[in-house]
């Protein structure tokens, strides 16, 4: 069944419509965040001012307001570098090898939690140079992995179901993308969130889900960073596991997003805003998600590879 064509508009109008919709989306987000987060922020500030005033009133004889302000400024400055000044934190260093590996992975994946940053000038210089080389290298690696994983996880299953049971390609592609999205949600968001919920004693389940999504979407706000056990062997293993989770989960998210992007419905919407010169295909047998697949099923003879991609319908 052919999808209805979107109304034809001049290219300038389409770009203006897209920019206007995006601007309204930004304004909506800002309004919602301001409405939701403004009252808690004001309440927190009031509680902090009250606690500060009570502390000064109780210890005014031995603690001046200037000394307290200086101490708080030093604590806040240290906290901006990921160094905590509260209690005994000797067993929670930021730059042992596994912590440095976690930092390197967050830099190369552009997650950048911000809880740990280089302290030295040479560390900042190396971070710049390392990122200039490492981020493009990471993009190339992810592109190569996607090129090999998409036919296996996306194109080949869709083609097999279509040729084996004769379901329409567009419906199979939509059902497959939905299933892949649900699998990614369960395996890389919900199940890891349950693990973080159990291991991070000060996190609830919503905060654990929030951390997983913020990490795999490479937003990396840094307001929640897993700490786990303070014992050195367990802490290092924990950080190594999170590093592997970050890399594998990011790849799973990219596979899911690329599979969704190749859906006919998505391509129709993109082509409406991008260009009207190359409209998306109307017929199921010309679905682009399958035309790009160069890997055949095991039941296809070797001669098919010499002739080009497998045709799934009459031409």
**Phi/psi of residue 137, nearest 5 degrees:** -65, -40
3 vs 187, residue with greater confidence: 187
The pLDDT, as a whole number, for residue 304 is 34
Return the minimum-mean-pLDDT range out of 72-76, 140-144, 262-266.
72-76
Q: How many CB atoms lie within 10 A of CB 216?
A: 24
Cβ burial, residue 34 (10 Å; 0-12/13-18/19+):
exposed
Top-level CATH class of 94-307? Answer: mainly alpha
CB 183 within 8 A of CB 195: no
294 vs 97, residue with greater confidence: 97
**Which token pair is 217?**
């979407």
Return the minimum-mean-pLDDT range out of 23-27, 126-130, 230-234.
230-234
Tens of pLDDT, residue by residue over 189-228, are 999 999 999 988 889 999 999 999 999 998 887 788 887 6
Cβ burial, residue 25 (10 Å; 0-12/13-18/19+):
exposed
Q: Compute the distance between CA of residue 54 and CA of residue 38 in angstroms, rounded to an integer.
A: 25
Return the minimum-mean-pLDDT range out of 106-115, 187-196, 289-298.
289-298
In the three-class reduction of DSSP (H, G, I as helix; E, B as strand; rest coil), residue 61 is classed as: coil
In the three-class reduction of DSSP (H, G, I as helix; E, B as strand; rest coil), residue 146 is classed as: helix
Mean pLDDT of the chain, nearest integer: 78
Domain ranges of the chain: 11-80, 94-307
Read off the pLDDT of each residue in 258-267 and give the average, rounded to a whole number.
88
Residue 311 banded pLDDT, cuts 50, 70, 90: very low
Inter-axis angle of helices 121-150 and 97-108, nearest 10: 60
The pLDDT, as a whole number, for residue 297 is 35
Read off the pLDDT of each residue in 237-246 and give the average, rounded to a whole number.
90
Look-up of token digits 């190339």: 140
pLDDT at 8 over 70: no
């Amino acid at each position: 069944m052919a999808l209805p064509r979107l109304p034809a508009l001049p290219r300038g109008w389409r770009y203006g419509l897209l920019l206007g919709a995006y601007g309204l989306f930004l304004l909506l987000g800002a309004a919602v965040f301001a409405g939701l987060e403004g009252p808690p922020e004001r309440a927190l500030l009031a509680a902090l001012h009250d606690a500060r005033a009570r502390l000064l009133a109780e210890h005014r004889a031995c603690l001046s307001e200037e000394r307290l302000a200086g101490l708080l400024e030093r604590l806040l400055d240290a906290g901006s570098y990921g160094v905590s000044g509260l209690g005994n934190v000797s067993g929670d260093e930021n730059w042992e090898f596994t912590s440095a590996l976690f930092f390197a992975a967050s830099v190369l994946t552009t997650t950048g939690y911000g809880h740990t940053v280089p302290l030295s000038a040479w560390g900042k210089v190396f971070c710049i140079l390392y990122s200039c080389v490492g981020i493009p290298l990471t993009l190339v690696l992810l592109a190569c992995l996607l090129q090999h994983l998409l036919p296996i996880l996306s194109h080949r299953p869709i083609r097999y179901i279509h040729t084996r049971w004769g379901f329409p390609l567009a419906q199979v592609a939509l059902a497959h993308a939905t299933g892949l999205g649900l699998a990614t949600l369960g395996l890389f968001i919900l199940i890891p969130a349950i693990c973080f919920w159990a291991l991070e004693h000060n996190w609830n389940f919503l905060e654990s889900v929030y951390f997983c999504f913020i990490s795999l979407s490479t937003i990396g706000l840094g307001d929640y960073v897993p700490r786990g056990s303070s014992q050195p062997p367990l802490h290092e293993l924990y950080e190594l596991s999170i590093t592997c989770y970050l890399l594998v989960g990011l790849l799973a998210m990219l596979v899911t997003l690329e599979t969704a992007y190749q859906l006919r419905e998505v391509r129709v919407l993109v082509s409406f805003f991008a260009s009207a010169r190359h409209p998306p295909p109307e017929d199921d047998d010309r679905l682009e998600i399958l035309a790009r697949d160069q890997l055949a099923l095991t039941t296809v003879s070797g001669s098919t590879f010499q002739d080009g991609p497998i045709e799934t319908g009459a031409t």
